[in-house]
Structure 1
Amino acid sequence: MKEFTSGDIRNFAVVGHGAAGKTVLCEAMLSCAGEINRMGSIEAQNTISDYHHDEHERQISIHSSPLHLEWMDKKFNIIDTPGYLDFIGEAISSLAVVDMAVVLLHAANGVEVGSEQVWSYATKNNIPKVLVVNGLDREHSKFDEIVQQTKDHFGKNVFPMQLPVNAGPGFNQIVDVLRSELITYQTDGSGKYTESDLPEKWQNRVEELHQELIEYVAESDDTLLEKFFEQGNLSEEEMRSGIHQAIQNQSFIPLFCTSAAVNVGVTRLMTFISKYGSSPVDRGTVVAKESNSDEEISVALDGKEPVVYVFKTISEAHVGDLSFFRVYSGSVFAGMDIL
């Protein structure tokens, strides 16, 4: 089995209101990474994470589902969570054991009650967030309006890293603000794309946004801020390190465009998470409680003593109780007793 350092691990939960497309986004990620040969669908009842009979019958997620894949030499540990408020506990417990939240928004409905709730719980856990406007191949999608909604609800520091070119049926083109280029996805669902120069009509808007991004990045680090004031710009290498730190500081919230059902925008989102997303190293410590006194203590994630967080227990027929946990410190092995 391939081993990964802590810095090469990305633990994140996919959260949001019901029907935003979380399960399908996870399905597309698994497909892009080669973990599955073809994408399943909710209607066909053959997605990887919705595997319970009740989920098939109701065609909604009821249980949180851990998934994993490799992308650009990084290990992704993903938790797909239900969006309907009846099952909000699954999302809450999942957000307690991840290092980042990927918050999905429906491209026609925008910010909904469930969106605000999961945002609030992610904030309570002090983990960085990434926003994704999903389903931009739908009729009546309203990207610009949703961006404004996110600024109104989540803060003025929400920043669109991408812009949809042809939102609506047939959507397959995205403008990348960071690299100032046009991304055109194949329409065969493969997730493959080509890069080309920006059309002239987009250049002014992207140039303004790119400058705004540089300012966000510079503000995340005093050294970069000083360079920005001296030079009026930052190099690509400085931008790379600065974006990661800006996300950790939550000085800006990146927002992306996807249509997971047709696998548009997913690979670029995965690449961004791989390059700039949070790892256990970024978190450093977590707060726990002493078993004897309930006193809150700080636990270093690189400690030798085993510390685990059980975030989910289910009872399966013919198997019994199964508990899912994250190892925060030390190591665990079969047969080990943990108090």
Structure 2
Amino acid sequence: MNNYTHSNLRNVALVGHASSGKTMLGECMLACAGNINRLGSVTDGTTASDYHKAEQERQFSIHTSLLHTEWLDTRFHIIDTPGYLDFIAESRAALKVSDLALVVAHATHGIEIGTSKVWEYAEEFNLPKIIVVNGIDAENAEYKPILEELEATFGKRFFPINIPTNPGPGFNKALDVIRKSKLTYKTDGSGKYDESKVSGEEEEQVEQLHSQLIELVAESDDTLLEKFFDEGISEEELRGGLHQAFQSQVFIPVFFASSETNVGVARIMDFIAKYASSPD
């Protein structure tokens, strides 16, 4: 293990309603980083988080657990919390000692009581939040309805960082708004993907969203907006402005993913490493 300074640490609380996929999301992060060579299963009691016998028997988390991994020269401390309301105090305690709230909601269940409670706690501690909409590979899953529900429920600006192009069973492709490209994920659970150019309607869609993202970021960095219109900017040039806009929650980033198949998770980790804050 490398020695990390505070600036390269990320303390992340995985929170959300029960059965939204938090434990499997943590499992996917470990798989992406190579800490495990295959995904465990909540049903089989083989995940890294649910190691207590009672959790394995009940097939859901009842204790907070701590996972560690490394990504892009950054050390992640991930606190996986139970989702059932009987154990909601565990979520509040985890958020109190974290620097980021990774709020998980299920694509077909929408915003549930547990989602609202952990949001309230994250607001109490003034934490930056990322929404992960999990289960976008479920039957009849769509991305637009939950974006609308998020804004109607919490009254904030939510912005999709990726857009699923084949939601529902078999989901493995998404438009990447930051990179303006299309990512096609492997089906082996590794979290790896191939990147390709977009064309036609997809190109139009991703260009429009990218421009909207720049405008949001420009609320905290006017220089960036000027350069964008003059000559365009790279992901690295966008980085500083995105960090500031995210930390001040000018908008709430939304990622669509499947924690059962490890699709979309690697780019969530990229975002946390590049744009989230350290304990400093």
TM-score normalised by length of structure 1:
0.79
Q: SS in structure 2 opposite 1:260?
A: coil
Query: Deviations for 1:173-226, whole angstroms, at most 9, x for unmatched residues?
Result: 01101111110011121211101111412122222211110011000235446x
Partner residue, 1:321: none
1:46-57 superposed matches below 5 A: 46-57=46-57
Partner amino acid, structure 1, of 2:32: C
Check whether the contact 2:100–2:127 (CA below 8 A) recurs between aligned residues.
Answer: yes
1:235 to 228, 233, 236: 233
Question: Which runs of no fewer than 5 residues in structure 2 stay unpaired?
Answer: none
- 1:148 has 2:132 as partner: no
Cα distance, 1:152 vs structure 2: 1.2
What do you get for the CA RMSD once the two structures are aligned? 1.6
- 1:134 has 2:139 as partner: no
Distance in 2 separating the partners of 1:207 and 1:2: 38
Cα distance, 1:90 vs structure 2: 0.5
Aligned residue pairs, count: 279
Larger CA Rg, structure 1 vs 2: 1
Partner residue, 1:206: 206
Partner residue, 1:6: 6
Percentage of identical aligned residues: 53
* Change beyond 3 A, Cα 1:232–1:144: farther
Distance in 2 separating the partners of 1:161 and 1:233: 22
Distance in 1 separating the partners of 2:229 and 2:71: 35
1:26-45 superposed matches below 5 A: 26-45=26-45
Check whether the contact 2:95–2:125 (CA below 8 A) recurs between aligned residues.
Answer: yes
* Change beyond 3 A, Cα 1:233–1:245: farther
Distance in 1 separating the partners of 2:73 and 2:125: 27
Check whether the contact 2:156–2:252 (CA below 8 A) recurs between aligned residues.
Answer: no
Partner residue, 1:82: 82
* Change beyond 3 A, Cα 1:106–1:41: same
1:47-196 superposed matches below 5 A: 47-196=47-196
Check whether the contact 1:214–1:234 (CA below 8 A) recurs between aligned residues.
Answer: no
Cα distance, 1:131 vs structure 2: 0.6
Using the TM superposition, name which of 86-95 and 206-215 deviates more.
206-215
Cα distance, 1:29 vs structure 2: 0.7
Q: SS in structure 2 opposite 1:219?
A: coil
Partner amino acid, structure 2, of 1:276: Y
Using the TM superposition, name which of 175-184 and 150-159 deviates more.
150-159
Higher relative contact order (CA 8 A, sep 6+): 2
More strand by share: 1
Partner residue, 1:287: none
Partner amino acid, structure 1, of 2:233: S
Q: SS in structure 1 opposite 2:150?
A: helix
Partner residue, 1:219: 219
Q: SS in structure 2 opposite 1:184?
A: strand
Check whether the contact 1:103–1:132 (CA below 8 A) recurs between aligned residues.
Answer: yes
Q: SS in structure 2 opposite 1:242?
A: helix
Check whether the contact 2:72–2:273 (CA below 8 A) recurs between aligned residues.
Answer: yes
Cα distance, 1:2 vs structure 2: 2.0
* Change beyond 3 A, Cα 1:142–1:231: closer
Q: SS in structure 1 opposite 2:218?
A: helix
Partner amino acid, structure 2, of 1:197: K
Partner amino acid, structure 1, of 2:12: F
